[in-house]
Homo-oligomer: A and B are copies of this chain.
Amino acid sequence: MTLEQTDLQRTEIFKVLSDINRLRIIRVLHHAQREMTCGEIGEKLNISKSTVSYHFKMLRQVGLTNTRRASQSKYLSLNDQTFNDFLPGFLDSL
C-alpha cells in the first residue's frame, strides 16, 4: 500500500464523515450498541428512506459499517476495526 493510496483511502473516509447526517447515523448506532435498520434510523433522524439508503451505501463503501440481511430488513452496525485503524478513539469521543 503506497502513501498515495493510503491518502486516498483517508480522504474518502473523511469525505464520508464530513456529512452531518452520516455523523448522526454513526452516533445513533454507537450509542444504541446494536444493529439498526434503514427505516429505524430514517425515522429517528427524520430523513427519507432513499436518502438513508444513499448514506448507508457510502458508509459501507469505505468500510465504516457492516450490513446483515434478515428477512425484509437490513441491519447496519459499525465496523469498529476501520474506526480503530483510521480514527482511534473517535467513536468514544462521540
**Interface residue ranges, A against B (CB under 8 Å):** 7-8, 10-12, 14-15, 17-20, 23-24, 27, 87-90
Q: Is the CB of A18 within 8 A of B15?
A: yes
Of the A-B pairs whose beta carbons lie under 8 Å apart in the complex, a sample of 5, sorted by A's number, is: A7-B24, A10-B23, A11-B17, A17-B18, A88-B88
Cross-interface CB contact of A7 among B7, B15, B20, cutoff 8 Å:
B20
Q: Are A14 and B10 in contact (CB under 8 A)?
A: no
Given contacts A14-B14, A14-B18, A15-B15, 6 further A-B contacts (CB under 8 A): A7-B20, A8-B20, A11-B18, A12-B18, A14-B15, A88-B88
In the complex, A82→B27 CA distance in Å? 21
